Amino acid sequence: MASHRRPKQQSRARVTVLTTAAAAAVVLSANAANAAPSEKLSKDQVKAKVDDLYSKAEQATEKYNGAQEKQQKLQKEISTIQDNVARGQQDLNKLRDGLGSLATSQYRSGGIDPSVQLFLSSNPDDFLDKASTLDQLSAQQVDALKKIQDKQRELAQERAEAAEKLKDLSSTRAQLEQNKKDVQGKLADAQKLLNSLTAKEKQQLAAEQQRADRSSSERVNLGNSTPASGRAAAAFAAAQSQIGKPYVYGATGTASYDCSGLTSWAYAQAGVSIPRTSQEQATIGTRIDSASDLQVGDLVFFYGDIHHVGLYAGNGQVLHAPHTGAVVRYEAMADMPFQFGVRV
Q: Do both 72 and 109 map to the same domain?
A: yes
Residue 208 belongs to a domain: no
What pLDDT shows up at residue 72? Answer: 93
Answer yes or no: 307 catalytic.
no
Instruction: Based on the fold, state whether residues 239 and 176 are members of the same structural domain.
Output: no
Task: Decide if 313 is inside a domain.
Answer: yes
Identify whether 19 is part of a domain: no
Pair (47, 171) in one structural domain: yes
Please give the pLDDT value at position 102. 58
| 240/98 same-domain check | no
Q: How high is the pLDDT of residue 213?
A: 74
At 142 the pLDDT is 76
> Exactly one of 4, 307, 308, 323 is catalytic; which is it?
308
Query: Is the same domain home to 192 and 231?
Result: no
C-alpha pair distances (Å), 241 with each of 34, 184, 255, 256: 59, 29, 12, 12
Tens-digit pLDDT profile for the chain (344 aa)?
444 444 444 444 443 433 444 444 434 344 444 434 446 889 899 999 999 999 999 999 999 999 999 999 999 999 999 999 999 999 888 888 877 765 565 555 455 555 555 555 455 555 555 444 445 556 777 788 888 888 899 999 999 999 999 999 999 999 999 999 999 999 999 999 999 999 999 899 888 888 877 655 566 788 888 898 999 999 999 999 999 999 999 999 999 999 999 999 999 999 999 999 999 999 999 999 999 999 999 999 999 999 999 999 999 999 999 999 999 999 999 999 999 999 99
Nearest Cα neighbor of 219 from 334, 330, 335 is 330
Do residue 167 and residue 248 come from a single domain? no
Plot region of 110 (φ>0 → left; ψ -120 to 50 → alpha; else → beta): left
- Whether 330 and 288 map to the same domain: the answer is yes
CB 313 within 8 A of CB 220: yes
Q: Is there a catalytic annotation at residue 259?
A: yes
- pTM of the entire structure? 0.69
- Domain around 322: 225-343
| 320 classed as catalytic | yes
pLDDT of residue 132: 47
Q: How far is CA 104 from CA 30, 109, 115, 244, 289, in A?
A: 103, 9, 14, 76, 74
Q: Which entry of 4, 307, 320, 323 is annotated as an active-site residue?
A: 320
**Side chain identity, residue 103:** A
Count structural domains, the chain: 2
Which one of 150, 181, 196 terminates a domain?
Answer: 196
Asked if residue 23 is part of any domain, the answer here is no
CATH number of the domain where residue 241 is located: 3.90.1720.10
- Considering the domain architecture, whether residues 103 and 191 belong to the same structural domain is answered as yes
